[in-house]
Amino acid sequence: MALFWLSDEAWTAIEPHLPKNQPGARRVDDRRVISGIIHVLKVGSRWCDCPADYGPSTTIYNRFNRWSRRGFWLQLLAALVDAGVVTKSTAIDSTYIKIQRAAFGAKGGARRKRSGDPGAAGPQRSMRSPTLSAVPMR
């Protein structure tokens, strides 16, 4: 699968908006990490399955969560829209439908339930057919 990398134009638009002078360990390359985050979001894979070319998957996951809480991604999108790199649009894709657990035959699912009316279910299965009982047996 092809890896995603931010273009020079996109990087120039978002670089001024990146947080600076953060305490802690030396930061890894922001461009590489952001490219990894976008790759995981585009592909729809798990964070731990992020290719090693982007850096450690825990760094990519932690950076996404931290910046999400700070509202960084909204600022990043606004900067890319203002620079004309992307258009602001929304797409909704719901590929699943929530159903009840019993709908597929799990516990309490697709089993026959007896009706309150004894004649509603039809004749009992253990009885002989009336046509067979009329035929004399030899």
Q: 85-119 pLDDT, tens per residue?
A: 777 776 666 566 566 666 565 555 556 656 666 56
Q: Which residue has the tokens 């995603």?
A: 4
How many Å apart are CA 73 and CA 64, to the nearest integer? 9
CA distances from 25 to 22, 59, 67, 92 (A): 9, 12, 17, 38
What is the predicted pLDDT for the residue at 125?
A: 62
DSSP 77: H
CA distances from 50 to 34, 61, 89, 133, 134 (A): 12, 9, 26, 72, 75
